[in-house]
Chains A and B, each alone.
Chain A
């Protein structure tokens, strides 16, 4: 699959490419000659002839379905689906969280990943090949006060990933989740200084991740050598 990267571009779909990890990943795969389809709720500044951007809110079923099916029709395949889109959450104790905040986080992190992976998996099933990677978070492993809704939505992403992995195993499609600790993205910078320091202190590796650590892991997960790795949540920087 991805060992073809040197000869012909693979088809990579990434949600949430306007900033943060999604944007880093889009550039990473573009640099390797892949054809990248990205989406976000806003426009993108990525300029590359191999990049196509769509303004799609991944928690909207019709828009997400239409976008991914369009890619399937245009390319005939999706090799890698990376469900990265997520919402930013400010630190709030659960007792003060609104139902609206709950809906928003679960819609973006959980429903968005579900819809994108559901549609991509249908295209991959026909080719009997594919790699699905979702994004969880260190918050899911740390159980820190103030991160309740965010952590719960990311835990739901892990469970969806495991079950997708079981359901799609017969089609040579692997599904894994990455739970990175802190990388200097806009989402992390929106956390309060105090919460950031506390989060770093609670990590096993008490430092920020560098982008290459995430892209390196993803390169491995999409490689043929990782064909037997599925249904896993890979924590980066912490021991759960």
Chain B
């Protein structure tokens, strides 16, 4: 791999690292999600400094060019990340549904209690007036 390419790849992976750490530090990204991104940066770094590994993988999967190996795995990675988000979204949608149901029921119950109380309160008032 030409030196310039290598420097570029190393730079990119370092930037990814810094951005992620910074996001976690500012609590904008939960540790849970940061792991997957840190791993991505790490993998990029490894491939950048260890070009033979990329060549080995390329011949292993039968690709003709090292770049197609990168693109292929990049795509697979993005699909997996999306799938992961879909799973997360499903879980969150379910939790949100349960919360919304709970809120609806609790609100209605509270209002009902208030109505009963008001009725009772008024009743007592009337009784007091009568007496």
Partners in one complex: no
Q: Which residues of A contact B (CB under 8 A)?
A: none
